[in-house]
Amino acid sequence: MSLPKNDFITYTLQLPVSKKEIRFRPFLVKEQRNLMVAMESDDDETIERNIKQVLTNCTLTDIDIDKLPMADVEFYFINLRARSVNEIVENLYQCKNQNLPEEKLKATDSEGNKICGGIMKVEFNLLEVKVDINENIKDIIKLTDTLSMKLRSPDFAVVQRASKYTNDTDKAFDMIVDCIEYIAEGEEIHYAKEHTPKELMEFIETLNQNQFEKVEEFFMNLPKVSKKLTMQCGKCGLDHAIEVEGLENFFG
């Protein structure tokens, strides 16, 4: 006789950037184990490959995870983790207060400064994590009076490709090239897909400092998952406000 079938509950979620609605099931024990092994490896490529695998397995809607904006992928993963394991997470933070009498500075930070060192335990609900979208950031970057460039937010595929670089500058340049939609010269539009990555890279390398800063500003203001936490140090009484960002910082 065959074993009974184990049905699972499904959930729906609207992704905040792409506005797509997805239906998903929680991840299974074996999927969770693979994820934990990946997270412990501390290797971006391994972590992203496993996240993609789990998201693909759990998604019941026909959707290409690689084409979702990175903030949607992070938001989805946090919600999936909340529904699969526990929506409440408990993180520990260390008080970095330096303005205390010498005898109360019990610890040392990574730069060698004497700090309070009090440990603060904070619980928060993963389902309350939001995506910050900066509406003031323009995706068309004006380079000169006649030259402009349209950028798009990096999708998950772009982020996965970029994580193979160990050098931050190489990573940044590669990501910019991947995210160019077109370059406009007066009325004439040069679409990125009609040019080779090498040609696009050569164009990026001709930007001056001021132009490059405008491009960087776009990438620094991409939508991102964040959660504001407030806490008080039990040792010195200092109030803290911490903004949690980046997937790895949400889970202890």
Site membership for Zn ion, residue 171 (CB under 5 A): no
Among 118, 151, 174, 179, binds Zn ion (CB under 5 A): 118
Site membership for Zn ion, residue 120 (CB under 5 A): no
Among 95, 126, 149, 158, binds Zn ion (CB under 5 A): 95
Site membership for Zn ion, residue 115 (CB under 5 A): no
Cβ(25)–Cβ(10) under 8 Å? Answer: yes
User: Minimum Å distance from CB 123 to Zn ion?
Assistant: 19
Number of chain residues interacting with Zn ion (CB under 5 A): 8
User: Minimum Å distance from CB 98 to Zn ion?
Assistant: 10
| Residue whose CB is less far from Zn ion, 111 or 194 | 111
* 55 to 94: interface string for Zn ion, x by CB under 5 A: ----------------------------------------
d(CA 250, CA 77): 11
User: Minimum Å distance from CB 241 to Zn ion?
Assistant: 14
| Residue whose CB is less far from Zn ion, 137 or 236 | 236
Binding to Zn ion (CB under 5 A) within 186-245 occurs at 233, 235-236, 238
Where does this chain bind Zn ion (CB under 5 A)?
95, 97, 116, 118, 233, 235-236, 238
